[in-house]
Every structure is written in structure tokens, then in C-alpha cells.
């Protein structure tokens, strides 16, 4: 097991608060949630792909108080730190490809936050295609990831992802992300972009394909 999960469990009842403070060093998820609601104010059905332990899911449940939320991840620790329990939120251990097969065209909003750099390069376009299949006609996709830079904070991010979580991560540049999104969702599908606090490395895109 990589050292990250072992160290975190040693925090016992303080794990959730310490994890929140640690994460905030890299990204302000409350700012991300505020940006999402500006871009997509009233979705009814939301899919979060790669929800992990539920930090973004919590913000989605709080901000979108009428929406039903399906949060999926390939990892078994899915939704472990999500609080409070909410009957509108369903966690399931599955991939985007499995969600596309069981719930095609089902979601008004799909969210992918800080997942892409964990996905092997060879699987990335397949994941985005599956996300596009999950989206209802006229639906939106919000993509957020960390882009590399020659800075101390990027070195810390790399260290944290590679050595603490033990994942083999590979970050995309902004141009690489844009190019992949346009290839899968079509030219003009990127409707807006935003930098998420506190670092310019946090880049988010609002993607909405043209109705065919
Ligand atoms: C850094 S965590 C981010 C969790 C959550 N999105 C957040 O921002 O708090 C990355 C997550 O991506 C998940 N992941 C990696 N590859 C995936 C895939 N192909 N499909 C779904 N989830 C994946 C990992 O299991 C992990 O939980």
C-alpha cells in the first residue's frame, strides 16, 4: 500500500478535516463548486466520474439541492468521507464506460475533477467518449484538472500524487486537454474556461456539444 492512505488513517477522527485542509493547499473546491453553478445553474441529473472519497460530491449535493447525483469511481473507497448522508446521492463502483452502457443520454451535467491525470494516456479518449455518451442532448460537461508548470507547487503536486497516492500520474497541458475535448465533443464545444483558486494550474472547462 502507498504511504498516503496509511498516514491518513492514522489521523483517525481528524482524517476528514485534515484531508480537507491538505486538499485546499492545491485547490479550492468551494470556488470550483461556485463556478459550476454559474455555468450550469439547474441540472436535474448529475453524474460525477472519478468521485473518489466524495469531496466534490459533497459540494455538488450542497449547491444543487434539487438534483439527483450519481457518483462513480473504479476505486473501492468510493464516497468514504462523504457527509452528511443524502438520499439524492448514489455511489457506485463503475467506470464511465459502464455508466454509458447502463445510462446513455441520461445526465444534464457530467463532472470530472482531478481525475484525468490519473487515467492512462491510452484510456483518456475512451473515457471522454463514454462521458459524451452519458450526456443528455443539450447537457453539459465540466472538466477540471491540474496543468503542469515549472513551479514549486507543481513539484509538490507531483510528489503528492506520485509518492503519497502511489498512482502513476501524467499531467496534460492546457492545449492537450483542449485538443482532446474538441476531438471528442466537436469544434466549438468548449463554451468557457476558468482558473480555479488558489493556483493558475487549476483549469476548468465548460463543454457543451452542439445539438445534432
Ligand atoms: C485525485 S482523486 C479525485 C477524486 C475527486 N474527483 C475529487 O476531486 O475529490 C482521482 C480519482 O480518480 C479515480 N479514477 C482514476 N481512473 C479512473 C477511471 N478510469 N474511471 C473512474 N475513476 C477513475 C481514482 O480512483 C480516484 O478516486
Bridge partners (DSSP) of residue 47 are 70, 110
Ligand 1 atom at minimal distance to the Cα of residue 29: 8
Map grid coordinates 457530467 to a residue. 110
Cα 90 from Cα 78, distance rounded (Å): 10
Instruction: List the domain boundaries for the chain.
Output: 3-207
Work out the number of other CB atoms within 10 angstroms of the CB of residue 114.
21
Nearest to 209 by CA among 181, 180, 185, 192: 185
Burial 187-198 (b: 16+ CB within 10 A, else e): eebbeeebebbe
Distance from residue 72's CA to the centre of ligand 1 (Å): 9
Which residues fall within 8 angstroms of residue 179, CB to CB, at 6 or more apart? none
Bridge partners (DSSP) of residue 69 are 46, 89
> Reduced to 3 states, what is the DSSP secondary structure of residue 36?
helix
Burial 18-47 (b: 16+ CB within 10 A, else e): eeeeeeeebbbbebbbebbeebbeebebbb
Fold for the domain defined by 3-207: Rossmann fold (3.40.50)
Q: Which residue of 50, 98, 171 sits with most ligand 1 atoms within 8 Å of its CB, as the best mutation to test the pocket?
A: 50
Are 195 and 203 a contacting pair, CB within 8 Å? yes
Ligand 1 atom at minimal distance to the Cα of residue 78: 27
pLDDT in tens, the chain (212 residues): 777 777 877 888 888 999 999 999 999 999 999 999 999 999 999 999 999 999 999 999 999 999 999 999 999 989 999 999 999 999 999 999 999 999 999 999 999 999 999 999 999 999 999 999 999 999 999 999 999 999 999 999 999 888 877 888 999 999 999 999 999 999 999 999 999 999 999 999 999 999 86
Amino acid at each position: 500500500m502507498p504511504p498516503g492512505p496509511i498516514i491518513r488513517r492514522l489521523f483517525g477522527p481528524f482524517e476528514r478535516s485534515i484531508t480537507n485542509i491538505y486538499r485546499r493547499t492545491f485547490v479550492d473546491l468551494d470556488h470550483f463548486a461556485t463556478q459550476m453553478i454559474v455555468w450550469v445553474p439547474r441540472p436535474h441529473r448529475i453524474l460525477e466520474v472519478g468521485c473518489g472519497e466524495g469531496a466534490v460530491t459533497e459540494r455538488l449535493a450542497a449547491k444543487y439541492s434539487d438534483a439527483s447525483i450519481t457518483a462513480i469511481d473504479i476505486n473501492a473507497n468510493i464516497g468514504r468521507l462523504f457527509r452528511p448522508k443524502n438520499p439524492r446521492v448514489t455511489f457506485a463502483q463503475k467506470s464511465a464506460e459502464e455508466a454509458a452502457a447502463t445510462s446513455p443520454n441520461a445526465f444534464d451535467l457530467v463532472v470530472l475533477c482531478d481525475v484525468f491525470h490519473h487515467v492512462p494516456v491510452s484510456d483518456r479518449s475512451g473515457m471522454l467518449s463514454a462521458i459524451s455518451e452519458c450526456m443528455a442532448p443539450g447537457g453539459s460537461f465540466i472538466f477540471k484538472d491540474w496543468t503542469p508548470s515549472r513551479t514549486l507547487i507543481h513539484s509538490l503536486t507531483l510528489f503528492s500524487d506520485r509518492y503519497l497516492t502511489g498512482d502513476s500520474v501524467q499531467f496534460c497541458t492546457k492545449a492537450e486537454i483542449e485538443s482532446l475535448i474538441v476531438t471528442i465533443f466537436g469544434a466549438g464545444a468548449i463554451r468557457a474556461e476558468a482558473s480555479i483558486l488558489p493556483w493558475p494550474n487549476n483549469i476548468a472547462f465548460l463543454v457543451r456539444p452542439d445539438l445534432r
